[in-house]
Structure 1
Amino acid sequence: RIINSGLSKKQKDRETVYCKECNKTLSFRYYVAVHAYTHTGNVPFKCQQCDKCYPKESLLRKHIRSHFQTRDFACDECGKAFFKKQQLQYHKASKHSEERPHRCNVCDKAFKVPSALWKHTLIHVNDKKYVCEICGKGFVEMVGLTKHKITHTTEKNFVCTTCGKAFMRKRTLGWHLKKHLEDKPYICSYCGKRFHCTTILKNHILIHTGAKPFACEICGKTFRQRSCIGRHMRIHTGETPYPCKICSSSFKYSHHLLNHMKVHEKEPIQEPEIEIKTSMDE
C-alpha cells in the first residue's frame, strides 16, 4: 500500500519514499513498485529469459526488446558493448574515470556516478538495525550485514600467483597485483613468466610438470598447494561454516554464500506498506 499526499504526478515521481516493511529508502515511484514485489511475491510481469520482474506489462515489453537489440555502443577502453549511449557513458564514468564529481552534502564523500551517491546517502537517512556482533558495524539491510560478516572469516579464495598471498575478495587481489609491476629476476624455463622470488617460481613450475605433492588422506585426491586440502576436506566432513542469516541454508565456501544472497535481494515475504514523505509532513 502506498500512502501519498495529493502532490502533482511529477512531484510524486521524485518524492523520497520508504518501505515500512524493511525501511529501505527509494527516490522514484518506479523503484517503489518494483521493490514492493520483493516482499509480496506477487510479481505479475516476469521476463522468461532473465527472470527480471516489472510491475507493468509495458515495462516488461520494453525490457524484452533489449534481448533482441544489438550492442552498438562499444567502450574504446575495454571493448565492452552496450545497447544505449547512456549506458556506455555510465560505464566509462564508473569504470575508466578517476573523476568524482558527485559529492555527499552530509559527509563530503565523493562518487563517480549519481547512483553511487544516492546509494551512499541511505546510510545517513536510515536506521542501521542490522549490527555485526563481531565489530559493531551497522547496516540498513540484512544482505549488507551478511556480506560484511564474511570479512571476519579466515577463508581467502583469491590467491596471488606471484607471491602466494591470499585475499577474501577478487577486487582486493586486483589491487594487490599492481604492486608486482617491478623487477622479477626469476624466470620460468617452460613459459618465460617472471617472478620476484624462487619459492613462487617453484610453485608455478608445478603447473607445467603436473606434480601435485599434497594428497587428501581420505580419498587420495592430490593438490598443488597445501591450503587446498583444507577446503577439499569439507566434501568429506559435510561442514558448512557459512550460514545464511535470512534462511536456513548454509554453505561450504564463502563465495557460494555470496551467490546465494542474490536470491534474497528479490525474495517474496509479505505485502509491504510504503509511505511517501514530503515536506508537507514536516
Structure 2
Amino acid sequence: MQTQSVEKPHSCLVCGSSFRKSFHLKTHMFTHTGEKPYRCDVCSKSFTDSSNLQRHIRTHTGEKPYCCDVCGCSFRQASHFQRHKRTHTGEKPYSCETCGSTFYDSTALGKHKATHTGLKPHSCDVCGTSFMSKYDVTKHMRVHTGEKPYSCDVCSASFATSSYLTLHMRRHTGEKPYPCDECDSSFSGKSRLREHMRIHSGEKPFTCESCGSSFRRKFELTLHIRTHTGEKPFSCQLCGKSFLKSSKLTLHVRIHTGEKPYSCDVCTSSFVTLSKLKKHKRSHTKEKPYSCTDCGSFFANTYSLKKHKQIHIGEKPFSCEECGSAFRHNIALKQHKRTHEAEKYFPCELCGLLYTTLYNLKQHKRTHTGEKPFSCDVCGSLFTQKSHLKVHMRCHT
C-alpha cells in the first residue's frame, strides 16, 4: 500500500528544515536568532515557545493536570504521563537496532545508543566535560551556576532536577513504589532498588583499579579510591580540617556551632546525630535489640555487646607494658597503670586516704555518709557496692 508523504511547504532559509505550518517555522527560527519571547512572570526565565512557558509555570504553581487512573500519580507534562503509563503496560516501543534492547522513551534509547558508539557530542562550555545528550549538559550546568529550579512545597528544599525533587517528596509522603521481588523491601527510587538487588545477587560492578576491591555502589568506589589518593575534598572553613565525605564535614561543623538538631521527645536531651538519638531513646524504652549468641543476654548497643562477648572468648586485648597484666577494657588498663605510679590521684577530703580512681573514692565515701544505693528487690536489704548486692542475691537463689 502506498503512503502519502506529508507536505511541508514552509522551509527555513538558514538550515533547510521544513515544516507543515508557518507557526512551527516561526518557532524554529528562534533557535537561530536566540530569541526567547515568552518570559515567566515569577522567575523571569525565558522560552522560545508558549507551550514550554506553560509547562514551566507548573513548577511554580505545582499544577499536575495529567493523572494516572491506575496508581493516581500526577504529572505536569503529557509526555511524562505517557511514559509513566508504560510502566503499567510494560510497553517499550523504542528499540535499539544494534542489540535489540527496548525502552520506554526515545530519550532512554538515545542514551543507550551512545553506549555502542562511545560518542559524547555535547560538551560543557565551563569545564569541558562531555555528555551523551544536550539535556545532560543542561543539568550539569547547574553544578556551575548553583541553580536549583525545583522546589519542595512542604519544606522549601530546592533541587537541580525534577527527578531529585520527586525522590525528595517521597520522604514526606512515605511512598516507596519500587518493591523488591526477593524480599519485602520497597524503595523510593528505581536506582535504590537496583543497588538493593545487588545484595541478593552479590554483584559488585564497581572495581578499584589499584587494589581490585569491588563495590555495589559507585559512590562507595569513589570514597574507597580516596583512601589510595589521600584526597579529602571537604574542608572545614573554621579550622581547616578535611574529610573524605561531606556528611563527616557536616557532623564536624556542629562541634564548632554547637548545633544538636536531633531532640528527644521524652526529655530535653539533644544530639549531634540521629544514631545517637536512637541510642539515647533506648534509655527510656529499655529496648535492648542486640543479643549475645552464646548466652542470650541483651544489650542496648553494639559496643556493650562487643565488650560482653570478650567474657565468653576470654579475650583481653589491653596489656600493661610494665607488668604484662591484661584487661578486657581500655579503661581497666588505665586504672591499673596508676598502681605503678608513686602518686595516687584522688584523696578523700574527710580522712585523707588516697585512691587510684574516682570510682573507688566514691565507694569509700559511702563509709562516711552511710549511703547504700543498691537495694535487693527480694528482701529490701541495702548495700554500699553493687558487687556486695550480687553476692547477697545468691542467698535467695
TM-score bucket (shorter structure): 0.3 to 0.5
- Give the TM-score taking structure 1 as reference length: 0.36
**Relative CO higher for 1 or 2, CA cutoff 8 Å, sep ≥ 6?**
1
